[in-house]
Amino acid sequence: MSAHASHAPKRSGLWDWLTTVDHKKIAILYLIAGGIFFLAGGFEALLIRLQLMYPESSVVGAKTFNELITMHGTTMIFLAAMPIIFALMNAVVPLQIGARDVAFPFVNSLGFWLFFFGGVLLNTSWFLGGAPDAGWTSYTTLALNQFSGHGVDFYVLGLQIAGLGTLIGGINFLVTIINMRAPGMTFMRMPMFTWASFVTSGLILFAFPAITVGLVLLMFDRLFGGNFFNPDAGGNVVIWEHIFWIFGHPEVYILILPAFGVISEVISTFARKRLFGYSSMVFATALIGFLGFMVWAHHMFTTGLGAIANTLFGLATMLIAVPTGIKIFNWLLTMWGGQIRFTTANLWAVGFIPTFTIGGMTGVMLAIPPADYQYHDSYFVVAHFHYVIVGGLVFGLFSGLYYWWPKMFGKLLNETLGKWNFWTFFIGFHLTFFPQHFLGLMGMPRRVFTYLKDQNLDLGNFISTIGAFGMTIGTILFVVNIFVTAASSKRAPADPWDGRSLEWAIPSPPPEYNFAQTPLVRGLDAFWIEKVAGNKGMTPAEPLGDIHMPSPSFLPFLMSVGLFIAGYGFMYHNYVVVVIGLLVTFACMFTRSVKDDPGYHIHEDEIEEKGVKA
């Protein structure tokens, strides 16, 4: 092996953040960027709801409305939900499996910067002639040049760049979980959040290449005269729908499984019981992941695939209710007879259960093809998917953030503000989306920018908008909470919740090498086992020694900037710019592959002996 530098390269401030390959810092980057996009998407939602507050109003106008719904959906899914999930995975998974690091620290940081610059590219459309306006599903032919503006080009290229980031992020976590577990951490001893991250990463690996292809085809049609989706030249629009949903349906499970993982951790911690039915939970998670790939065509019941196909996809969809039901009952049985503490994190988790169940029930209703002909593209669908995405995923993310905040930042979020945050958001949420079921059943179509007076749609829409303000207040309170917490000087202990899994065995926030000595895992709920046995901490599986760390690098940032530049070149047919951008990216790849990165060592005597005792 080549010689190692023996000291960490000293970097500070902004430069440190731009070059970091530490998964815990990348987690924070994901959280900040995803959080900002969440606020942007929320602002767009608020404008949508303001426009729909009263009949026949013209707060934003039809064109802007189309841009708003498109950007809202796209932003929330790709630029807010996914990154915040990645934030939690980065912050928690390596700690839960007792690893020093992720498998590919460099790739991890590249994944973040690709997502970031893809998202920025997408959002610059607002200032460069208009945002995409064909819906977050970008259905063709609507999304082709004849019917939609330049904005869709931003969608195509922005999502392509961000999607690449997600894909390599997924591979990183798969390899990390398979290869980097501490001794004794068998698969059936892994915490549920790690399991969920594992299955989610697998779904990412098989779902994202499909959208990659879809976006390439759409790009060829829009920018280079391709005819994939142009019926006049033999193209076929249903191909887009297939490809989009072969990606899109697994995507919603990519979103929800990590939330399930969070809920499992939080509920068992705050009920002070081991998770009920752990192995059935693992099985259910894997089964949901598998079935998630089998059901994409339930988004296409009305495209004329035929009765047989519709029936099969309908049945397959309903099957998912079985493993999901298993999970719901396991959570309830975990709480049964437990010593429950209603911290804010647990409030979100408990609030999740009935809310998500409602969303699941409307999902089964939508899976009945003849009934779907009635619900299709109505507000009933909007209500359904917000019950699962917001009532499921966003609640889960809030729960996870309150739970792991001390591990990420070394401070506990304020509980009083947290409870206000929960209740305003929770009540606001149900006010917003519950009436939408009825609006849909009464005939209000999805994606319309206004509606007529006195058709029984006025009251529902009005309540819905009021609810949206409730959620806005909730979100603002969360932001306030972050600042209040940051300003307070109280530090969080290593194990503030009396936790069960490994991440609580080391200081909050953990040192850069996570575990001074790799821990020895003796069972499920590894840390809890040691606590019950009266041990102060984990038994180490290795003697104290030098720790090898990867060096920071500016290349991931630069590589992403290269693609960002090339993206504009493609959009404006300026091939000089394309070449410059790609050259930057390739030069970085070249540098990376030719220059070996030996990393550096942290010496034994520099390692603070706080976490694990020898």
390 binds, among other proteins, ligand HEM, Cu ion, none (CB under 5 to 8 A by kind): ligand HEM
Closest alpha carbon to 87 in 165, 162, 30: 30
Angle at 142 between CA 140 and CA 144, to 5 degrees: 70
Q: Which of 222, 384 has the CB closer to other proteins?
A: 222
Q: Answer yes or no: are the C-beta atoms of 513 and 423 closer than 8 Å.
A: no
The whole-angstrom separation of Cα 487 and Cα 225 is 55
Q: Distances in Å between the alpha carbon of 406 and those of 34, 461, 509, 567?
A: 19, 39, 7, 39
Q: Which of 127, 224 has the CB closer to other proteins?
A: 224
Amino acid 117 reads F
- The CB-of-168 to other proteins minimum distance in angstroms stands at 8
- The CB-of-55 to ligand HEM minimum distance in angstroms stands at 15
- The CB-of-170 to other proteins minimum distance in angstroms stands at 8
Query: Residue with CB nearest ligand HEM?
Result: 73
Q: Binding to Cu ion by residue 242, rule CB under 5 A?
A: no
Q: Answer yes or no: are the C-beta atoms of 563 and 117 closer than 8 Å.
A: yes
92 binds, among ligand HEM, other proteins, Cu ion, none (CB under 5 to 8 A by kind): none
Q: Distances in Å between the alpha carbon of 306 and those of 27, 237, 309, 313?
A: 45, 16, 6, 11
Q: Which of 100, 419 has the CB closer to other proteins?
A: 100
42 binds, among ligand HEM, Cu ion, other proteins, none (CB under 5 to 8 A by kind): ligand HEM
Provide the 3-class DSSP secondary structure of residue 132.
coil
The whole-angstrom separation of Cα 471 and Cα 100 is 38
510 binds, among ligand HEM, Cu ion, other proteins, none (CB under 5 to 8 A by kind): none
- The CB-of-33 to other proteins minimum distance in angstroms stands at 24
Q: Which of 133, 503 has the CB closer to ligand HEM?
A: 133
465 binds, among ligand HEM, other proteins, Cu ion, none (CB under 5 to 8 A by kind): none
Buried b (16+ CB within 10 A) or exposed e, 169-202: bbbbbbebbeebbbebbeeebbbbbbbbbbbbbb
Q: Which of 447, 601 has the CB closer to ligand HEM?
A: 447
User: Residue 366: how many CB atoms within 10 A of its CB?
Assistant: 22
- Point out which residues bind ligand HEM (CB under 6 A): 42, 45, 48-49, 69-70, 72-73, 76-77, 81, 135-136, 382, 386, 389-390, 393-394, 432, 446-447, 468, 471
- The CB-of-299 to Cu ion minimum distance in angstroms stands at 5
Q: Binding to Cu ion by residue 249, rule CB under 5 A?
A: yes
23 binds, among Cu ion, ligand HEM, other proteins, none (CB under 5 to 8 A by kind): none
Peptide bond into 509 cis (omega under 30): yes
Q: Which two tokens stand for residue 195?
A: 């399991």
Q: Which of 167, 505 has the CB closer to other proteins?
A: 167
- The CB-of-308 to other proteins minimum distance in angstroms stands at 17
The whole-angstrom separation of Cα 98 and Cα 611 is 12
172 binds, among Cu ion, ligand HEM, other proteins, none (CB under 5 to 8 A by kind): other proteins
394 binds, among other proteins, Cu ion, ligand HEM, none (CB under 5 to 8 A by kind): ligand HEM
249 binds, among other proteins, ligand HEM, Cu ion, none (CB under 5 to 8 A by kind): Cu ion
Q: Which of 207, 602 has the CB closer to other proteins?
A: 207
Q: Answer yes or no: are the C-beta atoms of 527 and 501 closer than 8 Å.
A: yes
Instruction: Give residue for tokens 């397959």.
Output: 316
User: Residue 545: how many CB atoms within 10 A of its CB?
Assistant: 12
Half-sphere exposure of 42 (CA within 13 A, CB side): 22
Q: Answer yes or no: are the C-beta atoms of 85 and 182 closer than 8 Å.
A: no
- Point out which residues bind other proteins (CB under 8 A): 1-2, 103-104, 107, 167, 171-172, 174-175, 178-180, 205-210, 212-214, 216-217, 220-221, 224-228, 230, 233-236, 239, 242-243, 246, 590, 593-594, 596
81 binds, among ligand HEM, Cu ion, other proteins, none (CB under 5 to 8 A by kind): ligand HEM
- The CB-of-70 to other proteins minimum distance in angstroms stands at 23
Q: Which of 133, 372 has the CB closer to Cu ion?
A: 372
Peptide bond into 74 cis (omega under 30): no
Q: Which of 239, 544 has the CB closer to other proteins?
A: 239
Q: Distances in Å between the alpha carbon of 97 and those of 60, 108, 176, 257, 365?
A: 49, 17, 9, 18, 39
Give the residues lining the site for Cu ion (CB under 5 A): 249
